[in-house]
Amino acid sequence: MTVKEKFEYWCSFDEETKKELQSITDEKETEDRFYKDLEFGTGGLRGIMGAGPNRMNRYTIAKATKGYADYLKSKFQDEISVAIAYDSRNNSQYFSQVAAGVLAANGIKVYIYDTLMPTPVLSFTVRHLGCNGGIVLTASHNPKEYNGYKIYDEKGCQLVPRFASQVIEFVNAVTDLKSVEIMDFNVGVESGKITIIGEEILEEFLKEVKKQSIYEEKSDLKIVYTALHGTGNIPVRKALDGMNVSIVKSQELPDGNFSTVRSPNPEEKDALTIAIEQAKEENADLVLGTDPDCDRVGTAVLHNGEYVLITGNQMGALLVDFVLSNKKDKLNEKSTLVKTIVTSELGADIARKYGLHIVDTLTGFKYIGEQIGKYEENGDKEFVIGYEESYGYLVGTHARDKDAVVSSMLICQMAAFHKNNGRTLIDALNKIYAEYGFYLDALDTFVLKGKDGAEKIQSIMTNMRENGKSHFDNIQNVLDYSKGIDGLPKENVLKYTFTDGSWIAVRPSGTEPKLKVYYSMCGDTREIAAEKLNIIRAILKKEIEG
């Protein structure tokens, strides 16, 4: 169908949808809503909320869920069940009930939380209840306009491409969105087809989190924590029970508009602004902030009178050092660290010192979760820790997704350990640099919206493939992951490695209209690494922005 035909088709759905679509006066806005359907990326289905096939709404949710239901019925013969959770975003609970209604109408048993719940808890719940799959409604750290839909397998792991592609085939087979049957949520509950999950499973999750505890000595460490209006408030506070924790009250309660922040992304400095101001007033040692679905955590540390932000790569290295140094007697020849191809090598270098296997995956924590399942099946390796540069970490196998609950607990224990030994986390990081060399990591994000933006991203990637090597000196290797190298699935990522161990990587975002450029510069000092970064950054910015 053409854009015009799709528009007219959607106007026939219901009066509310029709009214919204007919109120659009910008031709580009109409094109953006209809030129394509939402696609599964590194984080599943994610997009701006609104009417149209390229938006998150009850029809696109119903279509995706009908496809998922058909996929599950093709894979499993006995009774099928799915667990569902949602975060604090606008419409998350409503979308979760739409998904539940579609599954119930298709004869699939549903277990659903009646209150917002972190993504890692959903991952745990799938395995705890023995479900065949899971769904969580969240757009993670995206701005308020977004929502998302993540699908999980029977192991509590997000679907990797070879399975997601099968789901997509079933989803694409749903051509008449108005015909998707949705059971009334209350009818489903009354009939027993939909079961409400209580907080007892959260308590079981927290028991597993506490099993990863490393350091419980008394400390006068002062912590300021913000849930950024999301799902972390109760679970994180329970995981930090017994510590001196001060809560940012203005960001404590759920708020789908995230009214106190520009974006609830703990990777960004301004998301922690209010927490840092509170920390200054209270002379706190550590600031923690978790994103809306509580799978990422950002931190700031009081060091020499200033609050210093710690990047995802830096925190990953600190956690690797802390976990392995305290678990060295429990490590064996199977112990393994798993990270992504765009994550710094610093944590891997630390892990190698302890004799760990290092496994690289594509971007997206689902690939790390997939490895955990493989190790349990094959018995050739044992998962110890996994992380990615985008502030996601996992210690333990209770979840198969990044977990800001266990990460928050371990970060605070690590900070307490170092404080009791007269150090801040920055001191600990500098000690690591002194031993392994300095790593300076950075990320540039170029927002390119709509159909024109998508075409420009593709053009940039093509140009980088054909001419990228000529832009830089001292290139040792060019890795084009679209060819399926290193035993990994094909993915649109280019990575350039330099003779000194530095590297850059370029990839389109799997969930947003963005092109991402990752930098990891090595040097004997910060100044040397920074000079390399500035030169390469300027070259790439000129190539991308023109």
Provide long-range contacts, Cβ within 8 A and 24+ apart, for 248-256.
Answer: 248/224, 248/274, 248/275, 248/278, 250/274, 251/226, 251/227, 251/275, 252/226, 252/227, 253/229, 254/88, 254/116, 254/229, 254/230, 255/88, 255/229, 256/88, 256/89, 256/90, 256/91, 256/92, 256/144, 256/229
Identify whether 140 is a catalytic site residue: yes
Which residues form the domain of 381? 313-402
**What pLDDT, on a 0 to 100 scale, did the predictor assign at position 102?**
98
- Amino acid type, 116: L
CA angle at 6 for the pair 514 and 452, rounded to the nearest 5°: 25
Question: Strand locations in 142-281, DSSP E?
Answer: 146-152, 194-197, 222-226, 244-247
Confidence band for 496, pLDDT divided at 50, 70 and 90: very high
Adjacency order of strands within the sheet including 306-310: 244-247, 222-226, 286-290, 297-303, 306-310
**What pLDDT, on a 0 to 100 scale, did the predictor assign at position 486?**
87
User: Most confidently modeled of 137-146, 409-418, 447-456, 485-494?
Assistant: 409-418
CB 256 within 8 A of CB 147: no
How many Cα atoms occupy the beta-carbon half-sphere of 209 within 13 Å? Answer: 26
Task: Encode pLDDT of 270-327 as tens digits.
Answer: 999 999 999 999 999 999 999 999 999 999 999 999 999 999 999 999 999 999 999 9
CB 357 within 8 A of CB 336: yes
**What pLDDT, on a 0 to 100 scale, did the predictor assign at position 513?**
83
φ, ψ dihedrals at 42, nearest 5°: -65, -20
* % of the chain exceeding 70 in pLDDT: 99
Task: Encode pLDDT of 414-429 as tens digits.
Answer: 999 999 999 999 999 9
Say yes or no to pLDDT of 42 above 60: no
pTM listed for this prediction: 0.94
Answer yes or no: do 105 and 187 share one domain: yes
Task: Encode pLDDT of 12-26 as tens digits.
Answer: 999 999 999 999 999
d(CA 437, CA 149): 40
Answer yes or no: do 61 and 89 share one domain: yes
- Amino acid type, 28: K
Residue 97 covered by a domain? yes
The Cα-based distances of 286 to 5, 283, 345, 525 in angstroms read 55, 9, 25, 26
- Across the chain, mean pLDDT equals 95
**What pLDDT, on a 0 to 100 scale, did the predictor assign at position 449?**
84
Task: Encode pLDDT of 211-241 as tens digits.
Answer: 999 999 999 999 999 999 999 999 999 999 9
- Cβ burial 487-505 (10 Å sphere, 16+ → b, else e): eeeebebbbbbbeeebbbb
Answer yes or no: do 148 and 128 share one domain: yes
Hey, how many other C-beta atoms are within 10 angstroms of the C-beta on 472? 15
Residue 152 covered by a domain? yes
The Cα-based distances of 30 to 21, 50, 55, 178, 240 in angstroms read 8, 11, 11, 20, 47
Residue 303 covered by a domain? no
Report the Cα 459 to chain-centroid distance in Å.
27
Answer yes or no: do 457 and 472 share one domain: yes
Residue 423 covered by a domain? no
**What pLDDT, on a 0 to 100 scale, did the predictor assign at position 41?**
60
Query: Which domain CATH number covers 455?
Result: 3.30.310.50
Query: Which domain CATH number covers 375?
Result: 3.40.120.10
Residue 463 covered by a domain? yes
Contacts of residue 23, defined as CB under 8 A and 6 or more positions apart, other chains included, come to none
Residue 264 covered by a domain? no
Helix axes 312-327, 404-420, angle to 10 degrees: 70
Given 202, 219, 245, the domain boundary residue is 202
- Give the range among 30-44, 382-396, 464-478 with minimum mean pLDDT: 30-44
d(CA 318, CA 326): 12
- Amino acid type, 203: E
Residue 272 covered by a domain? no
- Smallest CA-to-CA distance from 5 within 52, 47, 64, 67 is with 52
Helix (H) or strand (E) segment spanning residue 371: helix 365-378
Answer yes or no: do 357 and 462 share one domain: no
Confidence band for 245, pLDDT divided at 50, 70 and 90: very high
d(CA 115, CA 88): 9
CB 237 within 8 A of CB 245: yes
**What pLDDT, on a 0 to 100 scale, did the predictor assign at position 38?**
85
**Which tokens is 224 given?**
């300021």
- Give the range among 60-69, 314-323, 357-366, 463-472 with minimum mean pLDDT: 463-472
Answer yes or no: do 44 and 161 share one domain: yes
Answer yes or no: do 92 and 145 share one domain: yes
In total, how many domains does the chain have? 4
* % of the chain exceeding 90 in pLDDT: 86
Given 402, 428, 450, the domain boundary residue is 402
Helix, strand, coil percentages for the chain (3-state, nearest 5)? 45, 20, 35
Task: Encode pLDDT of 456-486 as tens digits.
Answer: 999 999 989 988 888 888 899 999 999 999 8
SS3 sequence, 455-492? Answer: HHHHHHHHHHHHHHHHHCCCEEEEEEHHHCCCCCCCCC
- Smallest CA-to-CA distance from 59 within 101, 110, 108, 22 is with 101
Task: Encode pLDDT of 195-218 as tens digits.
Answer: 999 989 999 999 999 999 999 999
- Cβ burial 314-344 (10 Å sphere, 16+ → b, else e): bbbbbbbbbbbeebeeebeeebbbbbbbbbb
- Smallest CA-to-CA distance from 299 within 188, 210, 443, 414 is with 414
Choosing from 81, 140, 335, 509, the catalytic residue is: 140
**What pLDDT, on a 0 to 100 scale, did the predictor assign at position 469?**
84
User: Most confidently modeled of 22-31, 125-134, 531-540?
Assistant: 125-134
- Cβ burial 219-247 (10 Å sphere, 16+ → b, else e): bebbbbbbbbbbbbbbbbbbbbeebbbbb
Given 153, 187, 202, the domain boundary residue is 202
Answer yes or no: do 346 and 466 share one domain: no
Answer yes or no: do 1 and 84 share one domain: no
Q: Which residues pair with 84 in a beta bridge?
A: 112, 135
Answer yes or no: do 45 and 180 share one domain: yes
Q: Mean pLDDT throughout 112-121? A: 97
Answer yes or no: do 22 and 107 share one domain: no
Answer yes or no: do 110 and 183 share one domain: yes
CB 537 within 8 A of CB 519: yes
Residue 215 covered by a domain? no
**What pLDDT, on a 0 to 100 scale, did the predictor assign at position 510?**
72
